[in-house]
Amino acid sequence: MSAIHELTQKNRPGVGLTVAHTAALVGLVLGTGAVMQWVVGPAAGIYPATILRQIGIVAIAAVSLNIVNGYTGQFSIGHAGFVAIGAYAGGAVSFYANSLGWVGAYDPAGLLTPGHAVMLAGAAIGAGAAGAAGYMVGLPSLRLRGDYLAIVTLGFGEIVRVLFQQTQSQVFDPQAARALPISGWWPPPLGGAQGFSSVIPYGELFWIYAALALTVVWCYRLKFSSSGRAFLSIREDEIAARAMGVNLTRYKVRAFVLAAALAGLGGAFYAHLNLAVQPKDAGFQKSFELIIIVVLGGLGSISGVLLAAFGLGGLTEWLRQPTSVWPAALVALALVGVVQAVRRDIDSRARGRAMGRALLVIGVLTGLFEGLRAFAAWQGFKLDDIRIVLYALALISVMLLRPQGLLGTSELWLVPGQLMRRKAKAAAAPSLRTAGPADPAAAPATGVGGMGGGVTEAGGDEGWP
Amino acid sequence: MSDHTQANHTADHAPGPQPGATDVARALLRAEGIGISFGGLKAVQGLSLAVPPGGLDGLIGPNGAGKTTAFNLLTGVYRAQTGSITLDGRRIDGLRPHQIAKAGMARTFQNIRLFGNLSVLDNVRLGAHVRGRHTLVGTLFRTPAYIAQERAILARARQLLGVFNLLSRADEPAKSLPYGDQRRLEIARALATEPKLLLLDEPAAGMNPQEKRDLARTIQRLRREFGVGVLLIEHDMGLVMDICERITVLDHGEVICHGVPAHVQNDPKVIEAYLGEPG
Amino acid sequence: MGTLFDATFFDTMIASVAVGSLYALIALGYTMVYGILKFINFAHSDVFVLGAWTAFTTTTALIAWTGLSAAGAPWWLGPIVLGVAMVVCGVTAFCIERFAYRPLRKAPRLNVLITAIGVSLLLQNFNQLPPAPGLARTATVSFPFGPTPKTMPELLPDVILNESIIATGTLGGGERRGQVLLDRAVTVLPGRTYRLDVTRQTEAGPVVARFNLNNPPVGEVQAGTPLVTQPLRPPAEMQGLAYVLVQVPAVTIRLVDVAIVGTAAVLMVGLLWLVFRTRLGAAMRAVSFSIENAALMGVNVNFVISFTFVLGACLAAAAGFLYPIKYPSLQQPASDVWVLLGLKAFVAAVVGGIGNIRGAVLGGFLIAFIEFFGETYLSATIGSGLQDIYVFTTLILVLLLRPAGLLGTPVREKV
C220, C167 contact by CB (below 8 A): no
Give residue A266's pLDDT band: very low, low, confident or very high (50, 70, 90).
Answer: very high
- What's the pLDDT at A453? 31
- What's the pLDDT at C141? 64
Q: Are residues A357 and A380 in the same domain?
A: yes
Q: Are residues A161 and A197 in the same domain?
A: yes
If one compares C15 and A187, the residue with the highest pLDDT of the two is: C15
For residues B104 and A72, give the distance between their C-alpha atoms in angstroms, rounded to a whole number. Answer: 25
For residues B184 and A343, give the distance between their C-alpha atoms in angstroms, rounded to a whole number. Answer: 35
Show residues of chain A in contact with C395, CB under 8 Å: 151-152, 155
Please report which residue ranges of C331-414 form alpha helices under DSSP H.
336-352, 357-378, 387-401
Please compute the mean of the pLDDT values over residues A254-258 and round it to a whole number.
95
Has residue A14 been placed in a domain?
Answer: no
C25, C264 contact by CB (below 8 A): yes
- What's the pLDDT at A336? 83
Please give the helix or strand (H or E) that residue A202 lies within, else none. Answer: none
A258, A294 contact by CB (below 8 A): no
Show residues of chain B in contact with A218, CB under 8 Å: 140
Helix C44-66 to helix C109-128 angle (10° resolution) is 30
Q: Are residues A292 and A336 in the same domain?
A: no
Beta-carbon contacts of residue A121 (< 8 Å; ≥ 6 apart): A93
Report the chain B residue with the minimal C-alpha distance to residue C409.
Answer: B39
The domains found in chain C, sorted by start residue, are 19-155+256-346 (no CATH), 164-248 (2.60.40)
For residues A290 and C5, give the distance between their C-alpha atoms in angstroms, rounded to a whole number. Answer: 48
Tell me the shortest Cα–Cα distance from B132 to chain C, in angstroms.
26
The domains found in chain B, sorted by start residue, are 26-104+195-279 (3.40.50.300), 116-193 (no CATH)
**Cβ under 8 Å to A: B residues 182-221:** 184, 189-190, 193-194, 206-208, 210-211, 213-215, 217-218, 221
Has residue A328 been placed in a domain?
Answer: yes
- What's the pLDDT at C295? 92
Closest CA to B83 of B10, B41, B34: B34
Q: Which range is least confidently modeled, A303-312, B6-15, B270-279?
A: B6-15
C45, C26 contact by CB (below 8 A): yes
* Average pLDDT of the residues of chain C: 84
Please report which residue ranges of A144-301 form alpha helices under DSSP H.
146-165, 174-179, 205-223, 226-236, 238-243, 248-274, 284-297
Beta-carbon contacts of residue A213 (< 8 Å; ≥ 6 apart): A28, A29, A31, A32, A33
Q: Are residues A239 and A363 in the same domain?
A: no
Instruction: Find residue C200's DSSP bridge partners.
Output: C207, C241
Closest CA to B184 of A460, A455, A409, A421: A455
A294, A68 contact by CB (below 8 A): no
- What's the pLDDT at C244? 84
Q: Are residues A174 and A263 in the same domain?
A: yes
pLDDT at C237 over 70: no
State pLDDT tens for residues B164-183: 999 999 999 999 999 889 99
Contact B221 A437 (CB under 8 A): no
pLDDT at A458 over 70: no
Q: Is the N-terminal amide bond of B15 cis, ω within 30° of 0?
A: no
Q: Are residues A292 and A335 in the same domain?
A: no
Q: Is B97 on the interface with C (CB under 8 A)?
A: no
Distance between first and last Cα of chain A: 10
Work out the percent of chain A whose per-residue pLDDT is above 90: 46
Please compute the mean of the pLDDT values over residues C379-404 and round it to a whole number.
86
The last residue of one of the domains, among A270, A288, A319, is A319
Closest CA to C97 of C290, C314, C309, C346: C309
Structural domain count of chain A: 2
A304, A298 contact by CB (below 8 A): yes
- What's the pLDDT at B260? 92
Has residue A236 been placed in a domain?
Answer: yes
Residue type for position A132? A
Has residue A432 been placed in a domain?
Answer: no
Q: Is A239 on the interface with C (CB under 8 A)?
A: yes
- What's the pLDDT at B84? 94
Please compute the mean of the pLDDT values over residues C27-46 and round it to a whole number.
90
- What's the pLDDT at A433? 38
- What's the pLDDT at C134? 62
Contact A242 B97 (CB under 8 A): yes
If one compares A436 and C251, the residue with the highest pLDDT of the two is: C251
Q: Is C133 on the interface with A (CB under 8 A)?
A: yes
Show residues of chain A in contact with B215, CB under 8 Å: 448
Give residue A25's pLDDT band: very low, low, confident or very high (50, 70, 90).
Answer: very high
- What's the pLDDT at A187? 83
Chain mean position to CA A162: 26
pLDDT at A387 over 90: no
Give residue A438's pLDDT band: very low, low, confident or very high (50, 70, 90).
Answer: very low
For residues A180 and B191, give the distance between their C-alpha atoms in angstroms, rounded to a whole number. Answer: 64
Please provide the DSSP assignment of chain B as one string: ----TTGGGSGGGS--SPTTS--GGG-SEEEEEEEEEETTEEEEEEEEEEE-TT-EEEEE-STTSSHHHHHHHHTTSS--SEEEEEETTEE-TT--HHHHHHHTEEE--SS----TTSBHHHHHHHHHGGGS---HHHHHHT-HHHHHHHHHHHHHHHHHHHHTT-GGGTTSBGGGS-HHHHHHHHHHHHHHT--SEEEEESTTTT--HHHHHHHHHHHHHHHHHH--EEEEE-S-HHHHHHH-SEEEEEETTEEEEEE-HHHHHT-HHHHHHHTTS--
Q: Which range is least confidently modeled, A213-227, B207-221, C301-315?
A: B207-221
For residues C33 and C356, give the distance between their C-alpha atoms in angstroms, rounded to a whole number. Answer: 10
By residue range, what is the domain housing residue A329?
320-414
State pLDDT tens for residues B150-164: 999 999 999 999 999
Helices and strands counted in chain C (H then E): 11, 8
The last residue of one of the domains, among A265, A284, A319, is A319
pLDDT at C333 over 70: no
For residues A196 and A189, give the distance between their C-alpha atoms in angstroms, rounded to a whole number. Answer: 9
Please compute the mean of the pLDDT values over residues C249-258 and round it to a whole number.
88
The SS3 of residue C317 is helix
Show residues of chain A in contact with C340, CB under 8 Å: 158
Please compute the mean of the pLDDT values over residues B139-144 and round it to a whole number.
93
- What's the pLDDT at B15? 41
Please compute the mean of the pLDDT values over residues A81-97 and round it to a whole number.
95
If one compares C314 and C211, the residue with the highest pLDDT of the two is: C314
Contact C399 A144 (CB under 8 A): yes
**Cβ under 8 Å to C: A residues 264-283:** 280, 283
- What's the pLDDT at A426? 63
Q: Are residues A64 and A151 in the same domain?
A: yes
Has residue A291 been placed in a domain?
Answer: yes
Distance between first and last Cα of chain B: 28
The last residue of one of the domains, among A275, A294, A319, is A319
Gyration radius from chain B CA atoms = 19
Q: Are residues A218 and A284 in the same domain?
A: yes
Contact C415 B77 (CB under 8 A): yes
State the chains in contact with A (3 or more Cβ–Cβ pairs under 8 Å). B, C
Please compute the mean of the pLDDT values over residues A6-23 and round it to a whole number.
88
Q: Are residues A295 and A392 in the same domain?
A: no
Closest CA to C182 of C212, C229, C220, C226: C226
Q: Are residues A139 and A271 in the same domain?
A: yes
Q: Are residues A312 and A370 in the same domain?
A: no
The Cβ of residue C9 has, within 10 Å, a number of other Cβ atoms equal to 17
Q: Please state, in angstroms and as integers, the Cα–Cα distance from residue C311 to each residue in B268, C91, C290, following that order.
A: 59, 10, 20
Give residue A134's pLDDT band: very low, low, confident or very high (50, 70, 90).
Answer: very high
pLDDT at C328 over 80: no
Task: Report residue C124: phi and psi, to 5°.
Answer: -55, -50
Has residue A451 been placed in a domain?
Answer: no
Give residue A436's pLDDT band: very low, low, confident or very high (50, 70, 90).
Answer: very low
Q: B133-139: long-range contacts (C-beta < 8 A, 24 or more apart)? A: B134/A225, B134/A226, B134/A227, B134/A230, B136/A227, B136/A254, B136/A258, B139/A221, B139/A222, B139/A225, B139/A226, B139/A227, B139/A228
- What's the pLDDT at B25? 56
Q: Is B37 on the interface with A (CB under 8 A)?
A: no
Q: Are residues A267 and A284 in the same domain?
A: yes
Has residue A420 been placed in a domain?
Answer: no
If one compares C364 and A333, the residue with the highest pLDDT of the two is: C364
Give residue B30's pLDDT band: very low, low, confident or very high (50, 70, 90).
Answer: very high
Burial class (CB in 10 A: 0-12, 13-18, 19+), C358: middle
Give residue A227's pLDDT band: very low, low, confident or very high (50, 70, 90).
Answer: very high
Give residue C230's pLDDT band: very low, low, confident or very high (50, 70, 90).
Answer: low
Most confident of A212-226, B256-270, C98-112: A212-226
Contact C115 A396 (CB under 8 A): yes
Beta-carbon contacts of residue C187 (< 8 Å; ≥ 6 apart): C219, C220, C221
Tell me the shortest Cα–Cα distance from B201 to chain A, in angstroms.
13
A94, A272 contact by CB (below 8 A): yes
Please compute the mean of the pLDDT values over residues A198-227 and round it to a whole number.
95
Report the chain B residue with the minimal C-alpha distance to residue A22.
Answer: B141
Looking only at the bridges linking them, the beta strands covering B29-38 and B82-87 are antiparallel
For residues A323 and A371, give the distance between their C-alpha atoms in angstroms, rounded to a whole number. Answer: 13
pLDDT at B225 over 80: yes
Has residue A429 been placed in a domain?
Answer: no
ipTM of model? 0.87
If one compares A147 and B209, the residue with the highest pLDDT of the two is: B209
- What's the pLDDT at B228? 93
Q: Is B193 on the interface with C (CB under 8 A)?
A: no
Give residue C337's pLDDT band: very low, low, confident or very high (50, 70, 90).
Answer: confident
Q: Please state, in angstroms and as integers, the Cα–Cα distance from residue A452 to each residue in B13, B163, B218, following that order.
A: 19, 8, 8
State pLDDT tens for residues C135-182: 555 556 666 777 777 778 878 877 888 888 888 877 765 555 667 777
For residues B67 and B62, give the distance between their C-alpha atoms in angstroms, rounded to a whole number. Answer: 9
Most confident of A430-439, C101-110, C125-134, C201-210: C101-110
For residues C208 and C243, give the distance between their C-alpha atoms in angstroms, rounded to a whole number. Answer: 10
The Cβ of residue C6 has, within 10 Å, a number of other Cβ atoms equal to 12
Give residue B4's pLDDT band: very low, low, confident or very high (50, 70, 90).
Answer: very low
